[in-house]
Amino acid sequence: MTKYTIAEASELTGLSKRALARRIERGQLRATKEDGLRYVDSSDLVEAGLLDPATGRARAWAGHRIRPDEVAKEIVETLVRQSVELHELRRQVRALIEESRHDDVELRTELERARDERQALRRAIEETRRELSRLQVDEPQSGSGT
pLDDT score of 85: 94
Q: Please, are residues 13 and 50 in contact by the beta-carbon 8 Å criterion?
A: yes
Q: In this structure, how many other beta carbons lie within 10 angstroms of the beta carbon of residue 34?
A: 9
Q: Is residue 127 part of a domain?
A: no
Q: Is residue 58 part of a domain?
A: yes
pLDDT score of 110: 97
3: CATH: 1.10.1660
In whole angstroms, how far apart are CA 90 and each of 80, 96, 97, 98, 116? 15, 10, 10, 12, 39
Q: Is residue 56 part of a domain?
A: yes
Q: Provide the number of structural domains found in the chain.
A: 1
pLDDT score of 46: 86
Longest dimension (CA), the chain: 117
Q: Is residue 31 part of a domain?
A: yes
pLDDT score of 96: 96
Q: Please, are residues 59 and 74 in contact by the beta-carbon 8 Å criterion?
A: yes
φ/ψ bin of 49: left (φ > 0), alpha (ψ from -120 to 50), beta (otherwise): left
**Domain encompassing residue 22:** 1-64
| Pairwise CA distance, residues 141 & 128, whole Å | 20
Q: Is residue 135 part of a domain?
A: no
Per-residue pLDDT of the chain (146 residues; tens, 9 = 90+): 689 999 999 888 888 899 999 999 999 999 999 999 999 998 898 888 888 877 777 766 555 556 678 778 888 999 999 999 999 999 999 999 999 999 999 999 999 999 999 999 999 999 999 999 998 887 765 555 55
Q: Is residue 129 part of a domain?
A: no
Write out 53-81 in H/E/C secondary structure. CCCCCECHHHCCCCCHHHHHHHHHHHHHH
pLDDT score of 56: 73
The pTM of this model reads 0.42
pLDDT score of 4: 92
pLDDT score of 145: 53
Three-state DSSP class for residue 142: helix
